[in-house]
Structure 1
Amino acid sequence: MKCIKHQIRAHLAFGLQTPILGDHKYSHAEYLAPQRLPKSLLEVLNIRQSKVRYISLHLHASSLHLRVPPSSSSSSSSNNEGFFDFVRSFDNSHSNNNKFIKNPLKFTAPLPNHFRGNLKRIGLKLPHYLKYLH
């Protein structure tokens, strides 16, 4: 997930010149510094530029779907096997004949309060299909 998060951040900041709110790492190509926000956004968020460094990254994974292979019958163990055993404990529909557990595990998470509040301040509304995030 970490690589995907960085790829999204880099493409938005450098490819589209639209860095994510609170992304202080990818807002500047040459140096690490707090994000510079337009005056109108500073006013809407009721924050001074000198305090922008305290705005957290507004990037949210609303859902994750995990497809996990069934337990290995080989004697070799990987560093991730403990994690996979934990995930398998949530699902009893797999068998060793299947490549993956039958039903991927699905995790959903609502938007954090600060994220939801800032969307409201800015005047952005979630699309209808994301209303479950409230």
Structure 2
Amino acid sequence: MSIWVVVRWVIMLTAAAGELFAPLHPLAHPPIGWVALLAIFGGCSVGMVLVLGLQAANPFSAKQWLRPSWRSNPLNFRQPMQFFHLGAYVCLAQGLVLLLRLVFSHVPFYLEALVPMVMALGILVGLELVSLLFRAKVESRA
């Protein structure tokens, strides 16, 4: 097993464990609604394209980016897709813990609990968009 698979799991599990201590009630004022969730999703997706689009022109970035992989170093900033791939899975882990906590508590469901999951989905969609829009920069599929 690659050391980077272990490192990624440790980072994800640490973030998920931290979510065990997060408050179980909405914090946003006014409360987050469906439109805000859609804006978060769009912001993450478009944000990935904008941020990685700038990195594509960065001379310090790798000549060709590796597709996101659990076996790759997420802290190699010459390969920025790896870092954001890890970030998406950290958000996903936090979101799953939060939703599980809600299921097993007496707290009623609130939309703000979906924010980490929506962010994760937005980042993953954004990474796919980057792979399409900057296919000359991203390694081809094997």
Range class of TM-score, shorter chain? under 0.3
TM-score, normalised via structure 1 length: 0.24
TM-score, normalised via structure 2 length: 0.24
Larger radius of gyration: 1
Query: Higher relative contact order by CA 8 Å / sep ≥ 6: 1 or 2?
Result: 2
> Which structure features the higher share of helix residues?
2
